[in-house]
Amino acid sequence: MEKLTIEQIVLKIESEDVFEAVCSDYSFTLKIDKYVPYVCGAVHDGHQFRKELWNNCLHTEYERWYEEDPATKQMIQSHPIVIAGLDSRFEYDLNRTPETAIYSDAWGKELWKEPLQEELKVKSLIKHMNFYKIVGVLISKIENKFGTCIVYDMHSYNWKRWDREVPTWNLGTLNINNKKFIDEIESWRTILEKMPLPNGIKSTAKINDTFQGNGYFLKYITQNFKNTLVLATEIAKIYCDELEQIMYPEVVLAVEKYLEVGLKKHAEAFYLKYK
The pLDDT of residue 132: 98
pLDDT tens for 68-84 read 999 999 999 999 999 99
Domain boundaries, given as residue ranges, for the chain: 2-274
Res 106 pLDDT > 90: no
Give this prediction's pTM: 0.96
Residue-averaged pLDDT of the chain: 97
CATH code that applies to domain 2-274? 3.40.630.40
Contact yes or no for 173/212 (Cβ under 8 A): yes
Residue 220's pLDDT band (boundaries 50, 70, 90)? very high
The pLDDT of residue 41: 98
pLDDT tens for 160-202 read 999 999 999 999 999 999 999 999 999 999 999 999 999 999 9
**Exposed, middle or buried, 21 (CB in 10 Å: 0-12/13-18/19+)?**
buried
Cα–Cα distance measured from residue 7 to residue 242, given in angstroms and rounded to the nearest whole number: 38
| 230-245 mean pLDDT | 97
Cα–Cα distance measured from residue 24 to residue 241, given in angstroms and rounded to the nearest whole number: 33
Residue 107's pLDDT band (boundaries 50, 70, 90)? confident
Residue 109's pLDDT band (boundaries 50, 70, 90)? confident
